[in-house]
Homo-oligomer: A and B are copies of this chain.
Amino acid sequence: MRIKRNHDVAIKDRPVTAQRRLLLDILRKANSHLDAKELYQRAIERDRHISLATVYRNLRLFKEMGLVDEIRLDDVHCYYEIKHPAEHYHLVCTACGQVIEFESPLIAKLVSEVEHNCGFHTSKAVLHLEGYCNRCKNSIG
């Protein structure tokens, strides 16, 4: 592979393979959060021979490089998304499965309060709310 694309620079000090370019492209264009299998299924439409192992290996790599965020929204599997410049968290509708992003200055406030009270140094906050989105709340009851 010769031609450099937008996100090739993102993969620094590592070989730029067609598979990596493909996976990053799918993640970039996805406006939702994908799990490994979903990513794999979208990938295989463009590259018949890509393997699930490659998807997992590269998701791990992307995560280690800080390119993608890994979020565990349920007990079953992880979801991946291109790292946003702005920190955000998620609402998960347990009725329709919709995932909504949100952010709030209260989170930073909470973290610094806890750090102050407990002498704890926070490197990562795991946070999401489960419940019913506006639509499901009204229709299901």
Contacts and interface: CB of A to CB of B under 8 A. Distances in A.
A31 interface: no
B124 A130 contact: yes
Interface stretch (A8-16, A19-27, A42-50, A114-122): A114-122
A130 B121 CA distance: 8
A89 to B, nearest CB: 9
B122 A134 contact: no
Nearest to A123: B131
A125 interface: yes
Copies of this subunit: 2
Interface in A96-136: 100, 102, 104, 106-107, 109-111, 113-114, 117-134
Contacts of A128: 125-126
Given A119-B137, A137-B119, A124 B114 contact: no
Given A72-B72, A75-B72, A110-B106, A124 B120 contact: no
A94 interface: yes
11 contacts: A91-B114, A91-B120, A104-B113, A107-B110, A110-B110, A111-B129, A118-B133, A119-B133, A120-B131, A123-B132, A125-B127
